[in-house]
Amino acid sequence: MMTYKKLLVCLAILLASGCASNPVQNADLAKESAYTVTKNYKGLINLYRQELQKKDSDSTRIKLAQAYLNYGDPGSAVFVIAPVNKKKPSVSSLIIQAKAQLELGEANAALSSAIAANKLDKTNGETENLLGVIYATKGMYPKARQELNLARSHFYNEIKVTNNLVVLDILQGKYQQAINRIMPLYRNDQADKQMTANLILAVAKSKNLQLMQSLLEPKYSDREIAQLYLTLQSTKEVSLVKQTNTSQTNKAPTKAAKNKKGKG
């Protein structure tokens, strides 16, 4: 029986094959579609590099830089995207550069890139979300919250913004606020793995062992929950950087979520 992933790959290839008349272009589009569906970033990197060897273009550089970022190589992403941003920067090219710089620990450079992107489009929610993350990284929490709320008002991905607001709540010691923010999504099976982890952290930080038990039983034993509870209470900080650069946000409700929903 064909798996769901294989079916997606075949569908992507069929769709790509019907979109171009040139056989070589057909093959490249098919590869790109298949690599994108399977998240084969190494394959995408090789494909885009080959394209750039034939003809340099800003659009291909942007795709290559994003592939490097998804692959976990922010240094190469910055190197590839720099000529685009020197010549004719766009919101997408500046966002990629800012994310890569932030991953490299260059918060000031990332802030400059994100501000430049924001000047090009004042209502871009992705830019505002990224600015919120950068300001939080720099300890500028009021500015961070302002930008994240702007991202929400411009209807940027609700899960991503909520995750970042939750981490900001935790960084500021507003643990109950973080819990209240996540719970509606969690109870409706809309919380992804990162949001669920943030919820468990906030509950532990709020010293609510009873709530933590209700969230984690019966997947974990009482002893395991108690150990995790004590460990998370001593956690010093959380990071927004990796959450921001995640390429996908998939719903991943835990067994505990379903059990809780079933109880009532």
Tens of pLDDT, residue by residue, the chain (264 residues):
556 555 555 455 455 455 555 666 667 788 898 999 999 999 999 999 999 999 999 999 999 999 999 999 999 999 999 999 999 999 999 999 999 999 999 999 999 999 999 999 999 999 999 999 999 999 999 999 999 999 999 999 999 999 999 999 999 999 999 999 999 999 999 989 999 999 999 999 999 999 999 999 988 999 999 999 999 988 776 666 655 554 433 333 344 444 444 443
Q: What are phi and psi of 25, to 5 degrees?
A: -65, -40
Both tokens of 117, joined, read 């992107």
At residue 28, the pLDDT reads 76
Contact 29, 18 (CB under 8 A): no
For residue 59, report the phi and psi dihedrals to the nearest 5 degrees: -65, -40
Residues 6+ apart with CB under 8 A from 173: 205
Task: Give residue 27's pLDDT.
Answer: 75
**Single pTM value for the model:** 0.80
Q: What is the DSSP letter of 251?
A: B
Residue 1 neighbours by CB distance under 10 Å: 3
pLDDT at 163: 93
- pLDDT score for 233: 86
